Amino acid sequence: MTILRALIAGISALILAAPVCAQEVETSALAAPGLFSMEARPTDLTESLWNGASVETIRTVLPLIAARPLSPAARALALKVLATGAATPPGLGRDLDLVGSRIAALLAQGDLVGARTLIEKTPGIEQSPILSRAAAEANLLSQSDPAACAIGQALTSGREDIYWLRLRTYCQALAGQIDAASLTLELAQGQQKDAIFGRLMSAKLAGGGDPGGPSLRNGLDYALSRNLGLDLSKAEPAPAVALALAPPAMGPAVWQIESGPGAVRTALALAAAGELGQARAIRSGLTQDEIPNATITDLALLDGVLAAAEGRADGQTLDRLIERGVLADAKTRPRIQTASLILAALGAPMSPRAAGEFATFTAGETRAPPARALALDLAADQKLIGQTALLALWISAEAGPGGPAPGDRVRIIRALRTAGLEADARAFAVEGLLAVR
């Protein structure tokens, strides 16, 4: 009886323990990391990037920077933020559509390699039309047409949307299914007529004839034009296609500006291209007494660019710019005052006299809504790196490839610096100084 009771007790313990083990397994499965923890490439940001970030802001800004070109400084910030693998903010979970927006934004800003890296790491692509389209475009831009076709074939919803009808037409033509492709093209054109796609695809299906000029509006147009053997140099590419065809280097922002005439202009062009050593060497040979093809104001602007690019809090240069902002003629004064605002936002000190003059400046137009600008300040004060970066990108995306309005730029510079994004603050500063040169 003693042995029997022991056996019964042991069996009962095992039975009672079984649900606990099942619960542990289920909890472990649910605790899988969010999709935003996937890294496109290494960056200098940490896994705490999204701490305190607003889910609403993320949902607003990612599609925005997937649809609009940015200035070089904003683009460099966007690529860094988009590539970083970080803990997913509560509320996002495994949102495949938002991952699609992230990948589309990487494509739009020129990181085709990073986009494909995320695609390879993302499960369930076929469950989201947004994610599937980003993946298909990445493959088409990479000349991996069969992979793009496989993505379209696997899609589980939204298959009758116009993009997928056009891609299916192309894929059927690649497979030699001419009759099926012709029917799909007819269906696509009936749903939404597109003269460009129609003439290119018709030439593909006819196996000859004049297709007209190439088109580079997106990855599908690029793939079809390339397949037809057209001269791609005769088409104006959309920004995302242009970046995919000539991928820029990942890393700090650079700018291409004219290099002359004169030593000051040459030094500015070198500094813009990131050649700070050469620019500094040229500056060392210049004095205020003799500046070929330039003025004292031009020299002060060069000093401001070098100080910003090198991360120096150059109070002497700021004081000199403030002085020029008071003395310059009416046409030049707004540019110099804007340059002074930019250096001040970077933290350069100013003398008491300069501070008094600085307070009289009226330059610095703003366009961002006051609430968004204040939200940027508040996020920076709380050291919320991801939220600060997204708000800066929101303002930048709405401004376009020329960059934010001067007053908005100054606010972005100060916010990025306050939040700890010092290098990005300097990039926005250099960009703004080059714009007023």
In the chain, domain spans: 1-31, 57-80+95-245, 263-358
Beta bridge partners of 290: 287
Can you tell me the distance from the alpha carbon of 382 to that of 436, in angstroms, rounded to the nearest whole number? 31
Q: For each of the chain's 437 residues, which pLDDT tens digit applies?
A: 444 454 444 434 433 344 433 333 333 333 334 778 899 999 999 999 999 999 999 999 999 999 999 999 999 999 999 999 999 888 887 789 999 999 999 999 999 999 999 999 999 999 999 999 999 999 999 999 999 999 999 999 899 999 999 999 999 999 999 999 999 999 999 999 999 999 999 999 999 889 999 999 999 999 999 999 999 999 999 988 998 888 888 889 999 998 878 999 999 999 999 999 999 999 998 877 678 788 888 899 999 999 999 999 999 999 999 999 999 889 999 999 999 999 999 999 999 999 999 999 999 999 999 999 999 999 999 999 999 999 999 999 999 999 999 999 999 999 999 999 999 999 999 999 999 98
Q: What is the pLDDT of residue 27?
A: 31
Burial of 159 (0-12, 13-18, 19+ CB in 10 A): middle
Can you tell me the distance from the alpha carbon of 374 to that of 34, in angstroms, rounded to the nearest whole number? 30
Q: What is the pLDDT of residue 191?
A: 95
Residue type, 399: A
Q: What is the pLDDT of residue 90?
A: 82
How far is C-alpha 417 from the chain's CA centre? Answer: 19
Q: Where are the beta strands (DSSP E) in 240-372?
A: none
Q: What is the pLDDT of residue 31?
A: 32
Burial of 217 (0-12, 13-18, 19+ CB in 10 A): middle
Q: What is the pLDDT of residue 293?
A: 81
Can you tell me the distance from the alpha carbon of 21 to that of 75, in angstroms, rounded to the nearest whole number? 48
Conformational region of residue 349, where left means phi above 0, alpha means psi within -120 to 50, and beta covers everything else = beta
The domain made up of 57-80+95-245 has a fold known as 1.25.40
Residue type, 426: R
